[in-house]
């Protein structure tokens, strides 16, 4: 079992602080969005990444190490009325930019966060979890003033369309176990080890 240090756990009260800035986020509805989405693929230290964005910001990040067509299909199901177009870009540039903007804790990407109002609230809580810290589904529920909604919170965490960027991999079971992850527990463990290395080297 992969246990987490208790001194790095963020409790519900942390997420109730209203001073958090969300000016880099545009909110929307995934099912009704009918404009263009551009996507690209590139290799990284974490594996092959599938990244998609609108004119307002990143809307989807997933792993395509198993089947890139399956990852595209997953993205298209989330935004069924969008028009998709592929754009080839420099793999090395993309990964360096990706790392600089988020994984190293610098300026965040512009995000186009599309989902239900409840999902968006959960995802915004996830965005507040710094590298090296963690929380639980129950803590998130308390932070949202819905202490009995940990299952609903878990479903929203699992529906996160922006892997890595919206760090759902930093959410654990109440006992500190890894629990679930959309892209698999092995990938979740890899992400956490990668971030631990960043934290230890800073």
Q: What are 129-181's pLDDT values in tens digits? A: 988 899 999 999 999 999 999 999 999 999 999 999 899 999 999 888 888 89
CATH 1.10.10.10 in the chain, residues?
Answer: 117-201
Backbone CA torsion sign across 154, 49, 165, 53? negative
Please determine, for residue 182, whether its predicted confidence score (pLDDT) is greater than 50: yes
**What pLDDT does residue 47 have?**
84
Please determine, for residue 56, whether its predicted confidence score (pLDDT) is greater than 70: yes
Residue 41 pLDDT level (bands cut at 50, 70, 90): confident
Choose the weakest-confidence range: 2-11, 67-76, 187-196: 2-11
Q: Which CATH number fits domain 26-103: 1.10.10, 3.30.750, 3.40.50, 3.30.160?
A: 3.30.160
157, two tokens? 């965490």
Instruction: Give the whole-angstrom CA distance, residue 36 versus residue 50.
Output: 16
H runs (alpha helix) in the chain:
68-78, 91-98, 117-127, 137-143, 150-158, 185-201
DSSP state letter for 169: G
Catalytic pick among 59, 124, 125, 168:
168
pLDDT: which is higher, 70 or 22: 70
Phi, psi of 163 (to 5 degrees): -55, 150
Q: What is the pLDDT of residues 10-28, one digit of tens each?
A: 888 888 876 667 778 999 9
**What pLDDT does residue 189 have?**
92
124, two tokens? 């915004």
Decide if 59 is catalytic: no
CATH 3.30.160 in the chain, residues?
Answer: 26-103
Instruction: For domain 117-201, give the fold.
Output: Arc Repressor Mutant, subunit A (1.10.10)
pTM of the entire structure?
0.87
Residue 1 pLDDT level (bands cut at 50, 70, 90): very low
Please determine, for residue 66, whether its predicted confidence score (pLDDT) is greater than 70: no
Q: What is the pLDDT of residues 85-121, one digit of tens each?
A: 998 875 655 655 555 555 545 556 789 999 999 999 9
Task: Give the number of other Cβ atoms within 10 Å of residue 1's Cβ.
Answer: 7
């Amino acid at each position: 079992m992969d246990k987490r240090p208790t001194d790095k756990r963020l409790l519900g009260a942390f997420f109730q602080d209203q001073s958090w800035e969300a000016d880099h986020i545009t909110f929307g509805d995934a099912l009704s969005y009918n404009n263009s989405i551009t996507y690209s693929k590139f290799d990284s230290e974490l594996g092959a990444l599938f990244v998609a964005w609108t004119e307002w910001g990143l809307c989807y990040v997933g792993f395509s190490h198993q089947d890139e067509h399956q990852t595209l299909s997953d993205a298209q199901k989330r935004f069924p009325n969008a028009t998709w177009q592929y754009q080839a870009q420099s793999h090395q540039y993309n990964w360096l930019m990706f790392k600089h903007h988020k994984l190293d804790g610098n300026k965040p990407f512009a995000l186009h966060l599309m989902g239900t109002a409840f999902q968006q609230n959960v995802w915004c809580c996830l965005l507040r979890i710094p590298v090296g810290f963690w929380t639980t589904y129950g803590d998130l529920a308390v932070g949202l003033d819905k202490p009995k909604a940990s299952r609903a919170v878990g479903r929203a965490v699992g529906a996160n369309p922006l892997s890595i960027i919206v760090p759902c991999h930093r959410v654990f079971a109440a006992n500190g176990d890894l629990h679930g992850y959309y892209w698999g527990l092995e990938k979740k463990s890899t992400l956490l080890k990668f971030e631990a290395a960043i934290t230890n080297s800073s």
